[in-house]
Structure 1
Amino acid sequence: MILELKIQNFLSFKNETVFSFEATSDKALEDYYVAEMPDGTRILKMAMVYGANASGKSNLINTFEFLNRFIERIPDEKEGGTLFEPFNFAETATQPGRFELLFYVAGKKHRYQLVVDKNIVLEEKLFVYPGSQPAAVFNRYYNADKKVSIVEFGSKIRISNQAVEAIQLKTLKNASVFSAYKQVNLSISELDSVMEWIGSQFLNSIDPYMDLTSYCGNAIKDNVDMKMLALRFLKESAFNITDVLFEDRMRKVPEELLNVLETMPISDEERAMIKREKAVHFDETFFTHRVVNDGKEEFFNMTEHRQSQGTLRYYSLAAPFFQAIKKNAFLPIDEIGSALHPLLVIHFLKEFLQKSKQAQLLFTTHNMSLLNEKDILRKDAIWFTEKGENGATDLYSLANFNFRKELSFFNAYKIGKFGGIPEL
């Protein structure tokens, strides 16, 4: 589970900014909102971020996405960039950014630190907490004179000098130590556990324009439990849909495309099939609608293109929902209410909290009506973004306000008591 993220000089975050899932001493909704770690740390399963347009809400999601991609990415070339984007409205435009992520893997606390500019990783560190004090897993820094990255492992990490050298040779100046480790034939338990967590429990972020229909379809084909959840989501968003079907379709491939198959990023098996059949196979998705005409029940299959955007959006959210709950994963969603009725959003959030053991959901929203739903609200789970005159984002929690929880969060936010609203 993620405990805390610190950001400095990245996108709209100029000064050091802290976002935290750590629960305060508040015991509201404790049973289904808070997960307790072996060391006693209490972590929230859900957090929401409000703010005006262009105030930096999405940039918080983008920061998590950047760290996810940076850790996993193996660059095509060592002279390429790092994907880092500094705060550009000040002297910070030429300075590096700083990140610190506190998280738990298999009950153990970890701390990952990164200092990076557009071209070079200046520092990268990973610590694990076997007890109250941290132990270094690795410490990586950039030697400007030799123009190489130096990687040193902690004294308690069992690794040979030859293995250290192999990892260091693969550690490009614009990539993470993790990406180098993936390219060598080694097994270091302290790294394996973190990489497994990043790969399976740190899910990719979802933005409001992302089409997840095919992803959801592929997920439910071979998973009965996943399909039942998707059908339940469909029933809630469009009451007359009773099934999802897939039919194999074939599309002819033009001769000019057959000639460039060798350059396409597909498997040898798929390439051979296309050459043999001169066509590609794909599944077309149909949704079964139940209607009643003159008291008679009838069923009609309609393609996904005939469904409403809201129906497809809620259906497609079933897949990441299932993955997050099943894997106890972290799921970030930007603008969770995109194309959805507010009651569907409320249902989604309640379902997540009820089913989550250690899964986490972070979402941004403009839906103020959620602030009336006291059975899904904790003060420490509500965050706001506000952009200053210098263009920098200020991120803060409702827990910072001396505001009685029995009062209306909705009314207070609407009249500007917490900030984070447009100036009209």
Structure 2
Amino acid sequence: MIQEFSVQNFLSFKDKQTISFTATSDKTLSDELIFEPKSGVKLLKMIVIYGANASGKSNLLQAIQSLWMIIFSPFDKEDEKIGLFQPFELTKNEPTQYHIIFWVNGKKYEYELIHNGTSILYEKMKYTSDGGVLSEMYVRNFGEPIQFGSTLKMKAKQRDDFNKDTLHNHTVLSTLNKKNINAPLVMKELYDWIKNNVHELNVHQDSEKIAEQAESNPEIKSLILELLNKADFNISDFNLVDFKIPKDIRNKIQDDNELSEAIKERLLKPQKQIVFLHETESEKFQISFGMESSGTQTYFRLARLLYDLKKGENILMEDELEDSLHYDLLLHYLQTYLQASCNSQLIFATHNQLLLDENWMIRRDMVWFVEKERSTSKSILYRASDMGIHKNLSLLNAYRIGKLGAKPLLGSTFLNSGKYEAEN
């Protein structure tokens, strides 16, 4: 679980901005909303991000994802650029900097990273070894050998292997993704956790892949069907079936001399499609996935997402989670997640202001705002619980009237262009 994340010089985040997942003293639904990886360390299981369009909400989610990807994913070639380097436009010659504190299996980790478009300039990983005190796992400066902490008890060959195989555009841990190095157990455990438990932004977009996973894992299918049924979609089953190209279309493709053989092969390749079985009181019928409503398609994907959240210790991020969902269904989904999960984290951006009025589920320390300064075009982060709004006052009303910022400044509804056209 993430405890704190900071980023500087990434997309619209010019100056260092920090988002905290540490809970305040608020006692609201502490059992459902808070997990303690260690006694006294109270971390929120859900973070909600608000802001106007183009304020930086998506950039924040991308920043979190980019850090994990750089930690875990190596590049094949030494001259390959770090594509995740996306600095603020006015400081694009300066490096991007990250800092994160997170917990894995009761161990605390603290990681710092500085990089530009070609190289890792600095990185440092600390962790809690026996006794719970932060110890240095490794530290690395550009052009210098990696220094490993004494608590790892690494042999000379292990240190040599890392220094030889960690290229200048690799992070230390990402080297394990391409090389079979005999690394210390704590490094392997951390690598495996990032690989299996940290998910990319808006994961599970491929509906056919979800259906394939459901076919091979009855638990996934059972959970998806249960959620679809609770959502009152009248869906009792779904299957991945072969899609047969009509004979006349197949013949036209084969007889088209303007198409290359490679294109014909791709077009005629056997395909699959998802078919949902609907049941009413008197009959059954099938509908293909593409003919279902956009809300049904979205909820199918979110049901798969809930399976990961329910398993525990997963980190998942969604941009505009509420897309195509009825508000009551969105609330039901979030409540189901909070009651079903133990130590997963869901981080999502939304435009749905009504959530701000759900005091029974959305605490003020869970709500973060992103605002872009007009004079500088840089994004800033701040938390609702730090804004001094009295607990008896509506957070929704405060946001609507502009007390919390992070809203579009739209101005008059009259268009000057209309005046110009009338005069001419």
TM-score, length of structure 2 as denominator length = 0.88
SS of 1:173 mapped into structure 2: coil
Give the corresponding residue for 2:418: none
Counterpart mapping for 1:4-403 below 5 A: 4-90=4-90, 92-130=91-129, 131=131, 133-143=133-143, 150-182=145-177, 183-206=179-202, 211-249=205-243, 256-257=261-262, 280-292=269-281, 297-388=282-373, 389-403=375-389
What is the rounded CA distance, in whole Å, between the counterparts of 2:83 and 2:134 in structure 1? 29
Amino acid at match of 1:306: M
Q: Does the 8 A contact of 2:368 with 2:384 survive in 1?
A: yes
CA distance in 1, matches of 2:198, 2:338: 18
Q: Percent sequence identity over matched residues?
A: 31
Cα distance, 1:286 vs structure 2: 0.5
CA displacement at 1:302 relative to structure 2: 1.4
CA distance in 1, matches of 2:185, 2:225: 40
Gaps of 5+ in 2: 255-259, 411-424
Give the TM-score taking structure 1 as reference length: 0.88
Letter in 1 for 2:94: Q
CA distance in 2, matches of 1:381, 1:359: 15
Question: In 2, are the aligned partners of 1:113 and 1:124 still within 8 Å (CA)?
Answer: yes
Structure 1: distance between partners of 2:45 and 2:244:
44
Is the 8 Å Cα contact of residues 87 and 95 (structure 2) preserved in structure 1?
Answer: no
CA contact (8 A) 1:166 1:184 kept: no
For the 8 Å contact 1:86–1:95, the answer to whether it is kept is no
Instruction: Please give the per-residue CA displacement for 1:313-360, whole angstroms capped at 9, x wherever unaligned.
Output: 111111121012214201111110112112211111111111111011
Change (3 A) 1:374 1:136: same
Q: 1:241 to 1:105 in 2, by over 3 A?
A: same
Q: CA deviation at 1:242?
A: 1.6
Q: 1:415 aligns with which of 392, 401, 404?
A: 401
- Distance in 2 (CA, whole Å) between partners of 1:375 and 1:396 is 22
For residue 288 of structure 1, report the CA deviation from its aligned partner: 0.8
Kindly indicate whether the alpha-carbon contact (under 8 Å) linking 1:215 and 1:316 is maintained by their aligned counterparts in 2. Answer: no
- For 2:159, the aligned partner's letter is V
Q: CA RMSD in A?
A: 2.3
CA distance 1:404–1:161, change in 2 (3 Å): same
3-state SS, counterpart of residue 405 of structure 1? coil
* Structure 2: distance between partners of 1:169 and 1:259: 46
TM-superposed CA distance for 1:249, in Å, is 4.5
Partner of 1:376, secondary structure, is coil
SS of 1:284's equivalent?
strand
Distance 1:349 1:377, change over 3 A: same
Shift of 1:399: 1.2
Query: Comparing 319-328 with 360-369, which one deviates more in the overlay?
Result: 319-328
Distance 1:343 1:40 in 2: 34
